[in-house]
Amino acid sequence: SLALRLLSAAVQRGLELDAVACNAAASACEKAGEWVASIGLFGEALLRELPPDGRTYSAVISACESGGRWELALHLWADMRHGGLSPDAITYSAAVSACEKGGQWERALALLGDAQTQGVETDAVIWNAAISACEKGQQWESALHLLQNMRQTRLIPDVISYNAVIFACSSQQQWLRSMALLDEMLLQDIEPDSTTLTSLLMEAEHHKLIDHEVDLLLKLCEAGACGALLANAAASRLLAAARPRRARVLLRKLATGGRWDRISETLWLSCEHRFGRLGATPPLRAPAPREPARPASGSAYATELNLLQYVISAAVPGDPASVCEAMERFSEEGWAARSSWSKVAGGSKAGVLSAALRGMQCVGNVLEIGTYCGYTAIQMAAVLPGVGIKTLEVVPMHVVVARNAIALAGLADRVDVFTGHSKHVLARWTRSSARSRPSFSILYMDRWGSQYHEDFLVLEQHNMLHPHAVIVADNVLWTGAALFLWHVFTGGAYKSRLVRVREVATGSEDCMSVSVRFGPDSGVRGDHRDTDAASVPQTLPHRLLRLHLESEDMRVRVFGAGRRVSAEERSEFASSMTSRMLEQMARIGIAPLNADGRELCTDRTDAAASAMGAAKRHQGRAVLLDPEPARARGPRRSPPRALRRPGEVRPGP
């Protein structure tokens, strides 16, 4: 913005602009990711009859590529070549990256070959972009060929190079090649990152290659607590696959190696309960609880590992309520001390979710998108006894932590944690036959809200949602779930409500949405308002679309390479987005309810069916509140607790 202001000031002072000034401003826009401003400068230069040179095209093409406008970047590339200009290495790299984003793998290979023919010195960036383009085009052989050719140019492949080839091979069921590439990485002292592990674990889980999956987890085991967590996660997967003998062997190795803990003991007892003793004697009991760990900075997953250590020390094994309460305490004490965002959906959020799920007849599985450390999966498993839960998490270490927490709660046989991004996991499920494709009665989404509608539409279009499914979405305001909210509140197929909640640690306000789908035979049209339906726009308001695009831009900045967003900037964005989302929701007649017992409409048969109660925090416990008046419901009874420990006395009236 400073570069644009300086350029504008120069024009106002009557100074004559030249190509150097325009190129400098375009380069500044490219570095800031402002592709629109970069295109504007390009047009301004043409109007002033300043012919663009190679640097101009390079900056503008790079800005469009960074902004995800690959079609525009390739159009500018063609215009540059038509003008007789010779691109440099940076321009080639931006053009190949644009092809990669657009899935144009053949054009990416052609550009890479053209660069070599023209004698342009290529670097690892352009080779990695070409390999990634082949991966997106499902061309694993071409990706592997590029990796081999890359070495011949005396370039050293890095973790990005290997990740793209591993994902290309594993997605095409070339599992042995993927594992060979992992071994090659380790031999060359290239440390696998989260993307590497996600690719391999996701494919192993999808193809039910339990032995390969366990071997991968064990290969990554390290000395200390992290190694024990990986081994526990592997044992949990073996028990879920009905492989008790290998699970016992693995757990016994933990005991003899001095890494046996409460989770290992819980898994052993669960194995005995489900499969009998099989002639095996249990190892020694887990050591006594240690002083609960405190949040600490350090490695990338220090918070999650400290949370799990706290839960291991403070919770009662086999008691879901105790595990969830320990997670909440850690969140309140740890995250609140740093005034940061808690990813544990406890407090009023847990009450709203429990209220939305209680009393419903679940005829299919539960799907959670965004496991994190397993808190909500444990909560839902406790609220819905006997119901299977599938939960998706993109970060492998979070998967390991969640499987350990779920095992400690005694729920490893009912909760399946899948590794991978939701768009990849759901895509694989959709390619299954209609008979083997999962169907869900409950959907809970807890990731960046501007992405909710993509997952939701996949589930809808492939008939993976039950006709009367309940859909709960968290953080729909500050993460800009504009497209999703528009769909469930105005589409006519859902009965939806917006409920105010507060974050556990910071106390900041947001909303959860609760929707119930109406099947074609229900005769009910979902409606969220008491206003005239004709007053609601039939197309998405441009203001909501703008909020969606702003949220997408922030998501890229938060989770993209470099993570250029400070805590203060993120907090300011959340506050502004929340207020503007509420304003736009009010424009179309959507007003949030307070989680104080007001009606939360989740009818499953007709509009007159009994409403389910909202939830609020009362004396530190999440309770359900009956919205019906006392004279209609008879004598008052003690409200059931969402997650109550065995033997705990219920609160009085």
Per residue, what are the HEC states of 518-539? CCCCCCCCCCCCCCCHHHCCCC
Range 356-375 average pLDDT: 85
What φ, ψ does residue 502 adopt, rounded to 5°? -130, 145
> Counting Cβ atoms within 10 Å, is residue 356 exposed (0-12), middle (13-18) or buried (19+)?
buried
Instruction: With beta carbons less than 8 A apart as the criterion, state whether 372 and 417 touch.
Output: no
Task: Please check whether residues 263 and 406 belong to one and the same domain.
Answer: no
Highest mean pLDDT among 222-231, 525-534, 625-634: 222-231
Residue count of the chain: 653
Do 379 and 243 belong together in one domain? no
Is 488 found in the same domain as 388?
A: yes
Among the candidates 228, 251, 278, a domain finishes at 278
Q: Higher pLDDT residue, 543 or 61?
A: 543
Q: Are 107 and 74 within 8 A, CB to CB?
A: yes
Residue 601 covered by a domain: no
Mean pLDDT of the region 573-579: 93
Number of neighbouring beta carbons within 10 Å of residue 49: 6
Three-state secondary-structure class, residue 631? helix
**Claim to verify: residue 329 and residue 450 sit in the same structural domain:** yes
Instruction: Please tell me the distance from the alpha carbon of residue 416 to that of residue 209, in angstroms, as a whole number.
Output: 15
- Is residue 43 domain-resident? no
Q: Which residue has the tokens 């039939």?
A: 538
Does the pLDDT of residue 648 top 60, yes or no? no
**DSSP element (H, E) containing 131:** helix 124-136
192's tokens? 């696998």
Is position 414 within any domain? yes
Chain centre distance of CA 516: 23
Question: Could you tell me the residue range of the domain that residue 266 belongs to?
Answer: 193-278
Residue 555 lies in a domain: no
The closest alpha carbon to 586, from 549, 541, 534, 548, belongs to 541
* pLDDT value, residue 482: 94
Tell which of 496, 522, 548 closes a domain: 522
3-state secondary structure of 497: strand
CATH of the domain at 466: 3.40.50.150
In the prediction, which pLDDT does 389 show?
95
**C-alpha of 629 from chain center:** 41
Q: How far apart are CA 88 and CA 427, in angstroms?
A: 38
- Of these ranges, 118-132, 368-382, 613-627, the one predicted with the greatest mean pLDDT is 368-382
Q: Are residues 349 and 464 in the same domain?
A: yes
Asked whether residue 294 carries a pLDDT value surpassing 50, the answer given is no
Q: Which has more confidence, 173 or 619?
A: 173
* pLDDT value of residue 642: 38
443 plus 511 within the same structural domain: yes
Separation CA 345–CA 504 (nearest Å): 7
Give the per-residue pLDDT at 400.
Answer: 92
User: What is the pLDDT, as a whole number, of residue 21?
Assistant: 62
Q: Do 496 and 366 have their domain in common?
A: yes
Higher-confidence residue of 39 and 427: namely: 427
pLDDT at 640: 34
| Burial annotation 479-508 (CB, 10 A radius, 16+ → b, else e) | bbbbbbbbbbbbeebbbbbbbbbebbbbeb
Looking at the fold, whether 381 and 438 belong to one and the same domain comes out as: yes
Write the pLDDT tens digit of every residue in 165-185.
Answer: 998 888 787 878 888 898 888
Asked whether residue 171 is assigned to any structural domain, the reply reads: no
Residue 96 scores a pLDDT above 60: yes
pLDDT-derived band of residue 288, with 50, 70 and 90 as boundaries?
A: low
Count of the separate structural domains present in the chain: 2
Q: Which amino acid is at 419?
A: T
Location of structure tokens 């040179």 = 53
Provide the pLDDT confidence category of residue 632 given band limits of 50, 70 and 90: very low
Q: How far apart are CA 120 and CA 114, in angstroms?
A: 9
Better pLDDT: 561 or 620: 561
* Dist CA 9 CA 652 (whole Å): 72
What's the pLDDT band for 83 if we cut at 50, 70, 90?
A: confident
Q: Residue 615: beta bridge partners?
A: 624
The last residue of one of the domains, among 278, 311, 336, is: 278
**Looking at the predicted structure, is the pLDDT value of residue 42 above 80?**
no
Tell me which residue of 353, 605, 630, 602 sits closest to 501, measured CA to CA. 353
Segment of 184-193, 423-432, 575-584, 598-607 carrying the highest mean pLDDT: 575-584
List C-alpha distances in Å: 127 to 54, 160, 281.
21, 10, 55
Which distant-in-sequence residues (6+ apart) come within 8 Å of 580 by Cβ?
Answer: 547
Within a domain: 4: no
Could you give the residue ranges of the DSSP H alpha helices within 32-120? Answer: 35-47, 54-66, 70-82, 89-101, 105-117
Whether residue 304 is contained in a domain is answered as: no
Q: Are residues 441 and 327 in the same domain?
A: yes
Q: Has residue 600 got a pLDDT over 60?
A: no
| 242 plus 385 within the same structural domain | no
Q: Is 419 helix (H, G, I), strand (E, B) or coil?
A: strand
More confidently predicted of 144 and 16: 144
Supply the mean pLDDT for the chain.
Answer: 77
- Provide CB contacts within 8 A for 16, sequence distance 6+: none
Whole-model pTM: value is 0.75
**What dihedral angle (degrees, nearest 10) is formed by the CA atoms of 615, 618, 623, 628?**
-60
Please state the φ and ψ torsions of residue 517, each to the nearest 5 degrees.
Answer: -85, 140
453 and 349 within one domain: yes
Query: Comparing 49-53, 292-296, 325-329, 412-416, which segment has the lowest mean pLDDT?
Result: 292-296
Average pLDDT rounded to a whole number, residues 105-124:
88
- Regarding whether 498 and 355 lie in a shared domain, the answer is yes
State the average pLDDT over residues 220-227. Answer: 58
Distance CA 374, CA 358 (A): 19
Name 400's Cβ contacts closer than 8 Å, sequence gap at least 6: 217, 229, 230, 233
Q: Are strands 615-618 and 593-594 parallel, antiparallel or unpaired?
A: unpaired
pLDDT digits (tens, 9 = 90+) for 243-282: 988 998 888 888 888 888 889 989 998 888 888 776 656 6
The whole-number pLDDT of residue 434 equals 80
Q: Which residue has the higher pLDDT, 196 or 334?
A: 196
Question: Which pLDDT value is given to residue 627?
Answer: 31
What b-and-e string marks burial along 330-343, b requiring 16 or more CB atoms within 10 Å of the CB? bbbebbeeeebbbb
The residue type found at 370 is G
Is 129 contained in some domain?
A: no
Model pLDDT, residue 233: 92
Coil, strand or helix at 353: helix
